[in-house]
Every structure is written in structure tokens, then in C-alpha cells.
Homo-oligomer: A and B are copies of this chain.
Amino acid sequence: MNGRTPPPRPPEGYDPHAFEPFAVTVDLAVLTVREERLHVLLVQRAHEPHAGEWALPGGFVLPRESAETAARRELAEETGLPAGTVAGLHLEQLRTYSDPDRDPRMRVVSVAFTALVPGLPEPRGGGDAAEARWLPYGEHGPLAFDHDRILADARERVGAKLEYTCLATAFCPPEFTLGELRQVYETVWGVELDRPNFRRKVLTTPGFVRPVEGPPRRTGGRGKPAALYRAGEATALHPPLLRPEGRSA
């Protein structure tokens, strides 16, 4: 904003229709961990341009919406999740992409968000998407527009945030085992972590997780049953949980 007079070209006053308008959209990089792999929610575009290609879900910001509101609305529309569930999801602004040529039709500025979801509600492909699916990160052809870059930025941001926040619990269901939590780190970072050391770090960080009363649960698979935990009240991680080698995969 700013009370500046509008841009010199075109030079008129404040008539909203007097100069070339910008369209504002949101794009969503929705990530989840599924079958020990990082997955992304993608939609197949129904219209030109880039019809038939895969893209991040998203859409236009409505006249009376903030970008955050629009992002939650689009997320609910595209995934078919009930609005109540979407309201509780971790949604974070990533950055804004404003290259003048990023959309061939007109000037479109897009505010990108990152969403981390635990369960895997199979999407329904509502709205303008021909189809919506979870695809393993990296196992999709080039995405439409500049979505490959947005997605890469999202993954990098999430990987970095795992180091110094308690964000990893956002990938897990309400009750989870330490093994599941460790899986999140290993999947996003693309590394293997030492089980006992990871356990010690998580349990000695106050407020990271809270144990759940009651009997342990069988993971359904092999191995000794693991205790269940819930996300704690802490949001930051001091000291941080650094990934093994400076950079991620």
C-alpha cells in the first residue's frame, strides 16, 4: 500500500478501473508423508493455459478476502475436506511470486502458501481441477507456470523449519508414535536418524510431545509396540534439531 499516487504509467488518480489491473491468486503447496515418502497434492488443469498439466491447487483471491482466507477456502474446495478440518490445519505463507511473465494471459501475482497435513484424505478433484491426487514429491513431470519453483521453495522451507520448530507434529495424526515422528524428519530431510538419539532429543525438549495415557498401540506391522504421544504446547525448538549435514537432499 502506501499513499503514493498510483504509478506514473498510467498516471490517473484512484479510479480502480483506470490502470492495468493485477490479478491476485493463491497457490498451495500441500505436503504430507505417505508410505515413507513425501507427497504433494496436485491438480490436473482443466482449462488453458497449460490444460491437462499438473499444477499446485489454488485460485483467485476474492474481492473481500485476505490471501489467508482464500488459501483456506481453496484448500477446502480442492481437497474436499470439511471446513472445520481445514480451519485447524497448519497453513503458512511461503512467499509471493510476481514475475511479470509468469502467467501468459495477464498480470498475475500469486501468494504461495505451504500446508502440512497428517492423514491422507484422498482428494476429490473439485472446482476447476479435472483431477486431484497425491503424488510423490519429484515423481511428477514439470508443473504448470512456475509451480516447480514454488514447490521446491516449499520443500526447502519446510526442511529448514523442522530444525528449529515443532512443526513436524503437523505431519502426524493427533496421536502418534516417536517412530512416526522420526519418519517425518527422515522423509523430509532424506536422511536416516539414529533412533535412540532422536528419542532422547524429542523427550528432553520440554513441550515438544506429551505422552498419552493408556496402553501402547501396535503399529499394525512388526516390532515392539510403541507408546503414543500428542503434540505439546511448544512451538520453537531450543536448541534446534539440526539435520546431519548442512544442506538437505
A interface residues with partner B (beta carbon < 8 Å)? 1-9, 14, 16-17, 19-25, 27, 45-51, 55-56, 58-68, 93, 95-100, 102-103, 105-111, 127-128, 144-146, 164, 236, 238-240, 242, 246
Contact = CB atoms under 8 A, between A and B. Distances in A.
A63 B105 CA distance: 14
Q: Which of A2, A108, A111 has the most CB of B within 10 A?
A: A2
A4 B59 contact: yes
B7 A128 contact: no
Contacts of A55: 2-3
A238 to B, nearest CB: 5
B7 A60 contact: yes
Contacts of A105: 14
Q: Which of A14, A21, A55 has the most CB of B within 10 A?
A: A21
A2 to B, nearest CB: 5
Tallying the copies of this chain within the complex gives: 2
A77 to B, nearest CB: 10
B24 A98 contact: yes
A100 B71 CA distance: 14
A3 B128 contact: yes
Contact of A45 (B3, B95, B100, B236): B3
28 contacts: A1-B25, A1-B103, A1-B110, A2-B110, A2-B145, A3-B47, A3-B50, A3-B144, A4-B58, A4-B59, A4-B127, A6-B23, A14-B105, A14-B106, A16-B23, A20-B63, A21-B21, A21-B22, A22-B61, A22-B109, A24-B24, A63-B100, A64-B100, A93-B95, A96-B111, A109-B111, A236-B246, A239-B242
Q: Which of A27, A65, A68, A109 has the most CB of B within 10 A?
A: A109
A130 B145 CA distance: 41
Nearest to A10: B63
